Structures are given as C-alpha cells and as structure tokens.
C-alpha cells in the first residue's frame, strides 16, 4: 500500500494531483483498497467539505486507486448509508431453466410430425395436446411464448436432435423479366451477348459485346478489356447510341455481366424494357448467337487477343465493321407460316434478302422510329458513300493492319 499519511490538507491533495499524474496505488486486495478509500474519506472529513473540494478529493481517489468515477461514487454512497465500504458479491444464480431437455426433445418430435409449422401454430398444438387430449408431457410447452419457442428451435439440443436437409435453391434475382421479347414488328428490341476471345497462359483475352435488333437485324459490335461494370457500362451506353432508332427493349442471357443493378439502372434511365432468357428455351437468344458466329468469329477468329487491345478493336468495329454489316451486308429475313399440322415454321425466301438498313426503311412509318436528329437522308448518305465491295475492302484492310500491328508488338514484347 502507498503511504499517503503525509497528505492531510486539500492544498496538498491539489499539489499531489498536479505533480504525480501517473502515480498509482499498489493494491494488495479489494478489501484493503476499499478500506483505504473509507479511511481517506474519514481523514479529510468528506461530508464537511465544500463542493469544489469534494470533487477534488474524488479525483484524488480515482487517480490513486484507478477506479472509475461510477465505482468511486458507489463507494461514497455506500459509506454515507452504512458508515462502511464493503465489497458486494453477486448472489444471483442466473435465470432458472424452465424448459428441460425432455421438453426440447418433445418439441423436436412435434415439429417432425407436423413439418415445422409456424410458431403460433406449434404453440396451439401444444395447448391442444395438454388441454384437450390430456397429454401431461406437454404441460410445460403449453404455456410457452411464441418468441421463446423459436429460441428453443435454435438451441443446441434442438439442432442436435433434428437435422433438416433441403436441395440447393437457385438465387432469385429480381432484375429483368424471364420471357421472350415481343417487338410486334417494331425496331428497337435488341438481343445482346458476350463473345470471349480466348485465354492464353492463364490470361484473359478481350470480350466482344454483340447487340442485334430483332426486327431489322441492325447490329452493333464493341470490345472491352473485361466484363466488369467498370468497362461494360460505358460501352453499353456507346453501343446504344450507335443505333439510329429508339431502343425499346433489351434482352440478354442470364450472365451476371448484364443481370445486375448497374445495367438495370442504366436501362431504367433510358426507359428500356429489360428481359432475360428463360431456362430450357435455347431459342430465346438464338438470333444474337447466330450473329456471334457469322460476324464476330468470322472477323476476329478464335485466336487469343490480349485485353489491352480492346480499344483498338472497338475503334475498328465503330469505324468499319458496324457500317459494313448494317449498310452493305445482306441478310435473310424469315417468313412465318403454319404447316398442315398447325405448327409454326419459318422460311427464308430470296426475295426478302436485304441489308439491315434496307429492312429498316421498308417498315411501315419507318421514319417514326428514328431518333431525334437522325433522318433517312443522313443515313442514305452513309449507305451510298461507297459501294459494298469498297466497304468490305476497307474493313479487311483495317482489320489486317490492326492484326499485323498487334502481332508485331507482341513479338517485340516476347
């Protein structure tokens, strides 16, 4: 114990606090510490001190004993009421356990029989078992509250006695509607899909994003380094801007690169309906899948292209590939008829073959679908600026230049 018998006045207490802020009392036991607090209160006649001096003495007690302010206050109150300061021991033994392991086992059996009903329904069954059918073993459970019934269901004894296994359930994402889009003969419903340009030594290649209008087959292709939101959202905005008509619908497969809240937010802002493919309906996105092979793979092949060249490919698509595909490359357009068995079938007459731009112009009231500021006169100038052969030649030359530059750079790095 620290010898503080030389501190007898409040002025000495003040000087002590000012000069020895780090000093602490070596406590041998709780009883001795409590006794020191009591003797200090008696020595300084705590009850006769003025209020500022009382606060100063309490600070001194806290500083030396290292007790909290609340603990010192409780000691002073105890001394005032009883004339002594003693350690009070907890006499509580905790909560009395009302529901025994037998009750928990009974609840397990009840849930197993009835298929784990809701809490109120299970409580009602316990009441009926005891009050109507006189089953004495349900006496305790008949008085249980609904909330504590759930506590018992989460207890270790309940979980040990009962195991319930269910099949893995698919995560339900409330983004987009699972159905085949119905454009009703109007342009503006696009199908979109991702084409990966292969891996090499564990490194991902570029990703091509292919968007195709269902009615006119107007197609826009772009490329990104990755399919995370950081790369995909800006490209989607860029692709949607390249369509000459207003986009009304957006249909994709169930890939997370499209089925996410960032894409949904973008489409909601543009008032575009979002649909996604249904399970076991492979034709829901068949148009863009066919275009992946006929356009994207035919132009870029299957060879790995490093991600860092995505911007170069994107410029190639914007300046050469997309104009060629939409204004100079003819496509088949299907006619739907019903056969003798009543089944809908498709045929592709040669007379219906035309470019996507010609298909757009052939629609009734076609000018009403165009975006503000875009006219058919402006689009005619693009379509007639060069011939089909010239457009194909320009595309092939630009593609070859790009691949040659990529190959030479990769060889230098290697």
How many structural domains are present in the chain? Answer: 3
- Domain assignment present for residue 362? The answer is yes
Q: How far apart are CA 408 and CA 171, in angstroms?
A: 46
Instruction: Please write the tens of the pLDDT for every residue from 81-99.
Output: 888 887 776 666 666 778 8
Q: Are residues 70 and 119 in the same domain?
A: no
Instruction: Please write the tens of the pLDDT for every residue from 175-208.
Output: 777 888 888 889 999 999 999 988 888 888 999 9
Q: Are residues 78 and 111 in the same domain?
A: no
Question: Which of 36, 54, 82 is the endpoint of a domain?
Answer: 82
- Domain assignment present for residue 348? The answer is yes
Q: Are residues 157 and 228 in the same domain?
A: no
DSSP string, 115-153: TS--HHHHHHHHHHHHHTS--GGGHHHHT--HHHHHHHH
- Domain assignment present for residue 5? The answer is no
Q: How far apart are CA 412 and CA 170, in angstroms?
A: 48
Question: Which of 50, 82, 114 is the endpoint of a domain?
Answer: 82
Q: What is the pLDDT of residue 170?
A: 62
Q: Are residues 135 and 216 in the same domain?
A: no
Tokens 């033994």 sit at which residue? 93
Q: Are residues 364 and 311 in the same domain?
A: yes
Does residue 219 contact residue 356 with C-beta atoms inside 8 Å? yes
The mean pLDDT value for 330-347 works out to 88
| CATH number of 205's domain | 3.30.420.10
285, with CB counted inside 10 A (0-12, 13-18, 19+), is: buried
The mean pLDDT value for 234-239 works out to 91
Give residue 209's pLDDT band: very low, low, confident or very high (50, 70, 90).
very high
Q: What is the pLDDT of residue 396?
A: 92
pLDDT surpasses 50 at 21 = no
Mean pLDDT rounded to a whole number for the chain: 86
Q: Are residues 369 and 280 in the same domain?
A: yes
- Domain assignment present for residue 91? The answer is no
Q: Are residues 149 and 205 in the same domain?
A: no
Q: Are residues 227 and 354 in the same domain?
A: yes
The mean pLDDT value for 207-235 works out to 91
The mean pLDDT value for 66-83 works out to 86
Instruction: Please write the tens of the pLDDT for every residue from 360-410.
Output: 999 999 999 999 999 999 999 999 999 999 999 999 999 999 999 888 888
- Domain assignment present for residue 2? The answer is no
Q: Are residues 330 and 401 in the same domain?
A: yes
Q: Are residues 153 and 188 in the same domain?
A: no
List % helix, strand, coil for the chain (3-state, nearest 5): 50, 10, 35
Q: Are strands 219-224 and 207-213 parallel, antiparallel or unpaired?
A: antiparallel
Q: What is the pLDDT of residue 375?
A: 93
Which of 117-121, 249-253, 266-270 has the weakest average pLDDT? 266-270
pLDDT surpasses 50 at 34 = yes
The secondary structure of residue 364, as a DSSP letter, is T
Element (H, E) at 395: helix 388-413
- Domain assignment present for residue 167? The answer is no
- Domain assignment present for residue 154? The answer is yes
Q: Are residues 343 and 204 in the same domain?
A: yes
Domain that holds residue 140: 101-161
- Domain assignment present for residue 197? The answer is yes
Question: Which of 92, 127, 161 is the endpoint of a domain?
Answer: 161
Q: Are residues 153 and 190 in the same domain?
A: no
Q: What is the pLDDT of residue 113?
A: 83
């Amino acid at each position: 114990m620290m010898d503080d018998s030389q501190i007898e006045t409040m002025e000495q207490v003040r000087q002590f606090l000012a000069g020895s802020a780090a000093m602490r009392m070596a406590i041998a036991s709780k009883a001795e510490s409590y006794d020191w607090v009591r003797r200090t209160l008696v020595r300084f006649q705590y009850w006769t001190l003025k209020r500022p001096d009382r606060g100063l003495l309490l600070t001194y007690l806290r500083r030396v004993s290292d007790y909290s302010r609340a603990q010192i206050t409780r000691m002073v109150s105890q001394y005032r009421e009883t004339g002594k300061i003693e350690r009070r021991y907890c006499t509580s033994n905790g909560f009395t356990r009302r529901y025994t392991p037998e009750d928990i086992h009974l609840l397990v059996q009840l849930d197993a029989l009835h298929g784990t009903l809701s809490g109120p329904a299970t409580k009602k069954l316990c009441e009926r078992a005891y009050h109507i059918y006189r089953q004495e073993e349900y006496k305790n459970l008949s008085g249980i509250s609904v909330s504590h019934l759930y506590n018992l269901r989460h207890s270790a004894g309940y979980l040990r006695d009962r195991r319930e296994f269910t099949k893995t359930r698919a995560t339900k994402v409330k983004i987009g509607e699972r159905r085949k889009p119905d454009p009703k003969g109007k342009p503006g419903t696009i199908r979109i899909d991702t084409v990966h340009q292969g891996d090499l030594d564990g490194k991902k290649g570029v990703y091509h994003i292919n968007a195709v209008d269902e009615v006119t087959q107007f197609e826009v292709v772009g490329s990104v380094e990755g399919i995370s939101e950081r790369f995909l959202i800006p490209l989607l905005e860029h692709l949607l801007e390249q369509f000459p008509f207003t986009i009304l619908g957006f249909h994709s497969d169930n890939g997370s690169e499209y089925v996410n809240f960032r894409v949904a937010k973008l489409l909601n802002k543009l008032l575009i309906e979002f649909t996604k493919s249904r399970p076991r309906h492979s034709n829901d996105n068949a148009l863009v899948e066919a275009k992946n092979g006929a356009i994207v793979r035919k132009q870029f092949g299957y060879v790995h292209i490093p991600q860092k060249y995505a911007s170069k490919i994107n410029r190639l698509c914007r300046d050469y590939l997309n104009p060629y595909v939409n204004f100079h490359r003819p496509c088949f357009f299907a006619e739907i008829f019903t056969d003798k068995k009543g089944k809908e079938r498709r045929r592709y007459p040669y007379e219906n073959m035309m470019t996507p731009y010609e298909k757009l112009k052939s629609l009734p009231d076609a000018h009403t679908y165009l975006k503000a500021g875009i006219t058919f006169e402006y689009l005619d100038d693009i379509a007639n600026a060069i011939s089909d052969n010239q457009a194909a030649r320009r595309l092939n030359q630009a593609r070859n230049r790009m691949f040659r530059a990529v190959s030479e750079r990769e060889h230098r790095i290697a």
